[in-house]
Amino acid sequence: MDKLLRSAPAAFMILLLVAWLLSRALSVLAFRVGKKPGGEGKAYACGEDSYDSSAQPDYSTFFAFAFFFTLAHVATLVMTTAPALVPGVSTIIFIYILAVAAGLYVLLRR
């Protein structure tokens, strides 16, 4: 029974249950609005009503940067946590580096 409670799935379920119970217990302290405000669904910009519909943010340029950093950081994490004493792991890491470099090349080429 002791090993079962120390396993990752059991620990996750126990912590999930504790978090849910804590959330339910503290929900009585949460702020609740009696009625919804009238302009809740309206556009709002810096204290003024937004009349210009062309002022919509575009995150398409941000995606390339986010994807670049995700690839770079995951590659670094995989390479630094690979076991050094396992035979053949350096070949796998080299192939992984080539795949990440190809992905970054395709991303930056666009």
Mean pLDDT of the chain: 80
Shortest CA distance to 65 belongs to which of 13, 104, 101?
104
Residue 85 resides in a domain: yes
Residue 101 resides in a domain: yes
Shortest CA distance to 82 belongs to which of 67, 69, 91, 104?
91
Instruction: Between 9 and 36, name the one with better pLDDT.
Output: 9
Q: For residue 83, what pLDDT is reported?
A: 85
Residue 91 resides in a domain: yes
Residue 79 resides in a domain: yes
What is the rounded distance in angstroms from the CA atom of residue 57 to the CA atom of residue 66?
16
Q: Which domain holds residue 69?
A: 59-110
Q: Would you say residue 35 has pLDDT above 60?
A: yes
Q: Would you say residue 57 has pLDDT above 70?
A: no
pLDDT tens-place string over residues 71-85: 888 888 888 888 878
Residue 94 CB neighbours (<10 A): 11
Residue 26 resides in a domain: no
Under 8 Å CB-to-CB from 93, ≥6 apart: which residues? 78, 79, 82
